[in-house]
Amino acid sequence: MKKIAVFRKEHFNAAHRLHNATLSDAKNAELFGKCNNPNYHGHNYELIVKLTGEVNPETGYVYDTKELSKLLKENILERFDHKNLNLDVPEFKSINPTAENIVLVIYDILRAQIDTRYELNLRLYETERNFVEYPA
**CA 27, CA 118: separation in Å to the nearest integer?**
42
Minimum CB separation of residue 113 from its own copies in Å reads 19
Known active-site residue 16 = no
User: Judged by CB under 8 A, which of 25, 70, 73, 100 binds its own copies?
Assistant: 100
CB atoms within 10 A of CB 98: 16
Residue 60 or 90: the one with the smaller Cβ distance to its own copies is 60
Over its C-alpha atoms, the chain yields an Rg (Å, rounded) of 17
DSSP E strand stretches across 54-118: 83-84
Binding residues (CB under 8 A) for its own copies: these are: 2-11, 13-16, 18, 20, 23, 31-35, 37, 39-44, 50, 52, 55, 58-62, 64-66, 69, 81-84, 87-88, 95-101, 103-104, 119, 127-136
